Amino acid sequence: MTETIQILPQRQQRVDARAMLSVRRRMGRSRIDRLFQEGAAKIRLPRISADPLEAVLINTAGGLTGGDRISWSVEVADGAAAVVTTQACERVYRSSGGSAQATVSLTAGADARLSWLPQETILFDGSAFSRTISADLAVGASALFVEAVLFGRLRMGEVLRRGLYRDSWRIRRDGRLVHAEELAIGPEVAAALEKAAVTGGRKAIATVLYLGDDAERFLAGARDVVGGDGGASFWSVGDSGKLLARLSARDGYDLRKRLVPLIGLLNGTAGLPKTWSI
């Protein structure tokens, strides 16, 4: 008698992580109010002697791949200020099935200031990545959003030919939608980037959005910084100003040469997060 052994398909381990931080103003400073962490999503708070509070996001899994899920939530209460960045660039590796998904939810109360400044997302050949960013800002709040993406690392000899990248933003101020965008590139990523209407062959892009009552005064400076590597525009949206800049570059090194001074210009006295210069 022959015994039949059934071999079940192995289920691959996937990242399913989330973290939440809320910041309140107490005793004249912005301080941590609540902190929740689960799975590979961690938040660290460096010691800083003055506002704004700085939060560093860490994905201890070391990157994302198909089927992974990671979620970040940050709430900055009335009058408080926070800068949120990452310990390192997020890496999205080749997918064996499905997309890696990142969800970002941000809230800023009246007269609060929030800066969302993660380091670049690096996409590898065969990767699939989808990100959703939603933010709700109260009257008088100001916010700076930066997202940069590298389609492979040119100086490392990496070439991204095929993959999928999706990015969706919904930003509201006082309940009114003031910014929305949808970006999708793939599956023939390299071919799409070669088109003049996309990046003209450039492998690094960034979107920089600043919302605040004082946004217009930064327009001339932003255009000087961006130069011929993109563009910057200003609109009045309701009771707020909106400055939007787009940058593209040959690679991540060249992108940073424009992006770093632009963040310094728009982020006030907080300047550039320390992790960006390590």
For every residue of 22-55, DSSP letters joined together read EEEEETTEEEEEEEEEETTEEEE----SSSSEEE
- Single out the residue of 119, 142, 276 nearest to residue 213, CA to CA: 142
What are the structural domain ranges in the chain? 16-272
Phi and psi, residue 254, nearest 5°:
-65, -35
User: Which percentage of the chain shows pLDDT scores above 90?
Assistant: 77
Read off the pLDDT band of 2 (50, 70, 90): low
Beta bridge partners, 240, equal: 237
Tell me the pLDDT tens digit for each residue of 104-154. 999 999 999 999 999 999 999 999 999 999 999 999 999 999 999 999 877
Strands (E), the chain: 16-26, 29-38, 41-44, 53-59, 69-76, 81-86, 90-92, 100-108, 113-117, 121-123, 128-137, 142-151, 164-173, 176-185, 204-212, 230-237, 240-249
Grouping H, G, I as helix, E, B as strand and the rest as coil, residue 209 is strand
What does the block give as tokens for 131?
């990100």
Question: What average pLDDT score do residues 146-163 get?
Answer: 86
Residue reference for tokens 């961690």: 42
Whether residue 13 is predicted with pLDDT greater than 90 in this model: the reply is no
Q: What is the pLDDT of residue 156?
A: 72
Give pLDDT, residue 262.
Answer: 96
Closest CA to 126 of 162, 165, 101: 162
The mean pLDDT of 34-59, rounded to a whole number, is 93
**Full-model pTM:** 0.92
| Contact status, residue 186 vs residue 165, Cβ threshold 8 Å | yes
- Residue 229, SS3 per DSSP: helix
- C-alpha–C-alpha distance, residues 52 and 186, integer Å: 38
**Which of 65, 85, 74 minimizes the C-alpha distance to 37?**
74
pLDDT at 17: 95
H helices of the chain, where?
A: 189-194, 219-226, 252-266
Confidence of residue 269 (pLDDT cuts 50, 70, 90): confident
The 3-state DSSP class for residue 58 equals: strand
- Tens digit of each residue's pLDDT (9 = 90 or more) over 202-221: 999 999 999 999 999 999 99
Quick: pLDDT tens for 51-69. 899 999 999 999 999 999 9
Tokens, residue 71: 């979620």
Per-residue pLDDT of 82-101, as tens digits, reads: 999 999 999 999 998 889 99
- Rounded-to-integer distance, Cα 67 and Cα 267, Å: 34
Which tops the pLDDT comparison, 197 or 137? 137
